[in-house]
Amino acid sequence: MERRVVITGESAITPIGCTRAEIIRHLTEGISGVKKMKDDELLVEHIHCKVFGTVSDPPTFDFVRRDRKTMGPVAYYACQVAKEALEQSGLSDEFIRSGRLGVAFGSTHGSPTVQRDIYRTFFSDDNTKLHNVGAVDYLKSMVHTTAVNITKMFGIRGRVISSSTACTTSSQSIGFGYEAVKYGLQDAMLCGGADEYDTTTVAVFDNLLACSTDYNDTPHLTPRPFDKQRDGLVVGEGAGAVLLEDLETASQRGARILGEVIGFSCYNNGGDLILPNRDGITLAIEQGLENARIAPDDVDWISAHATATKMGDVTEAQSIAAVYGERPRITGLKSYMGHTMGSCGAIETIIALVQMAEGFIAPTLNLEEVDPRCAMLNHVTELVEAPIEIASIQNFAFGGVNTCLFVKRFSE
């Protein structure tokens, strides 16, 4: 028996704001959250890219010491958005602790900041410092630190899924959570992802010549998805969480429903671990539509992965055109905040919900001259007042992992 899966809570920490009002303001006024990289960070002098999607005003964390002691920066982000999503959902403490709620949450690395501190200690000439590394340092840095810190903080006893697939981390988390609720394995799932400010991630992409370098003095002008003058991605930080719930459970308790997840797909390219693959992306889109039981013409708007790399944008554009033609509007949301890595799928899903509720579609920032190889799509280049009934959120990751989520405006 399949159940309908609705969204009853959401929260995001992003380079364009940590509140709904701030995110809307940045999207509608075309304000970028990309800034110059902090000059006191590790590796900065060796990195060609000097910009980062930075959270300027993070929330005040009011966590008790018992919870704080096992958290690195990425877990702080994760637990904050989890807290806000749970509060918005209105779930009772009894339900949260009952085993009927599970967690699907991840990050790209765990906490690189804590990991670096551990390595500095281990490789120090002063062996007397080794005792400074304790068990909590591992708990802060391990790859599933976000998911288990959330379970600890809120006493969640249901299943735990901790995806760690870089750019598809939180879209997988939402998708796997959707499947758990849809097929009755859990009545609700708290899903999302987070990544902290980290220059080692920039260094990796920089070494692959995939980062933007032409706009170091004008960070608000990059990244430039689908634009002829794009020169690579910009790494960002952030977190996003959504609370997924069985429709019957949500209706019985009178929950406010923000939207409905109607489909998900996750397919691999089955080959190269770095280069984008048109066939793999196309398959993910087609299978996502089949899972959602909708036709291509039913989709009104697509949040493209659109990292602003030279070949990635072209390959994605070709796949979208092959399946959808020119009908759905397309926005590259990373143009506002950079690539927030493990959190991008959740943040972009939340922005889809915001646009559905507010009746607008944000344009792709910095899209001044569309690359002819990407021109076959219906790019949004100016703010549009238009309804969105069904949206698709596309994300693709190193390793050849391709995901598509489909969310719908809720109706009985």
Kindly tell me if the per-residue pLDDT of 370 is higher than 80: yes
Q: Kindly report the average pLDDT of the chain as a whole number.
A: 95
Instruction: Please write down the long-range contacts of 134-138, taking CB distance under 8 Å and 24 or more positions apart.
Output: 136/69, 136/70
Peptide bond into 223 cis (omega under 30): yes
CB-based contact 360:385 (threshold 8 Å): yes
Vertex 48 angle, CA 43 and 54, to 5°:
70
Strands in 301-303's sheet, in edge-to-edge order, are 160-161, 101-106, 188-195, 238-246, 5-13, 259-268, 401-408, 390-397, 301-303, 329-331, 378-379
pLDDT at 129 over 90: no
pLDDT given at position 44 = 80
Q: Return the SS3 of 292.
A: helix
Task: Please write the tens of the pLDDT for every residue from 21-48.
Answer: 999 999 999 999 999 998 766 678 889 9
Query: Which tokens belong to 200?
Result: 């080692």
Q: Tell me the C-alpha distance between 365 and 182, whole Å.
A: 36
Terminal Cα-to-Cα distance of the chain (whole angstroms): 19
d(CA 34, CA 52): 6
pLDDT of residue 71: 96
Q: What is the model's pLDDT at position 203? A: 92
Calculate the alpha carbon distances from 288 to 152, 263, 391 in Å. 33, 6, 12
- Residue 303 makes CB contacts below 8 A (sequence gap 6+) with 331, 333, 348, 349, 351, 352, 391, 392, 393, 394
Task: Give me the residue label for tokens 């919900």.
Answer: 353
pLDDT score for 127 = 65
**Backbone phi, psi, residue 354, to 5°:** -60, -45
pLDDT value at residue 42: 66
Instruction: Flag whether pLDDT at 119 surpasses 80.
Output: no
Quote the pLDDT of residue 222: 98
Question: Any idea what the Cα angle at residue 259 is, between residues 101 and 162, rounded to 5°?
Answer: 40
Q: Which of 123-127, 173-177, 276-280, 388-392 has the lowest mean pLDDT?
A: 123-127
Instruction: Express as a percent the part of the chain with pLDDT over 70.
Output: 97
User: Among 179, 398, 167, which residue's Cα sits nearest to residue 269?
Assistant: 398
- H helix runs in 98-144, sequence order: 112-122, 135-141
For residue 38 the two structure tokens come to: 């902090």
**Which domains are assigned to the chain?**
5-408 (3.40.47.10)
> Would you give the DSSP letter of residue 53?
E
Q: Which residue has the higher pLDDT, 137 or 5?
A: 5
Element (DSSP H or E) covering residue 406: strand 401-408
pLDDT single digits (tens) 255-286: 999 999 999 999 999 988 988 999 999 999 99
Gap between the Cα atoms of 27 and 386, Å rounded: 15
Mind listing the pLDDT tens digit for each residue in 160-211?
999 999 999 999 999 999 999 999 999 999 999 999 999 989 999 999 999 9
Which helix (H) or strand (E) is 318 found in, with range? helix 310-324
The confidence band for 125, taking pLDDT boundaries of 50, 70 and 90, is low
Handedness of CA 245, 250, 256, 259 (dihedral sign): positive
Give the model's confidence band at 98: pLDDT under 50 very low, under 70 low, under 90 confident, else very high. Answer: very high
CA distance 31 to 372: 26
Whether the pLDDT of residue 213 is over 80: the answer is yes
- Quick one: average pLDDT of 104-116? 93
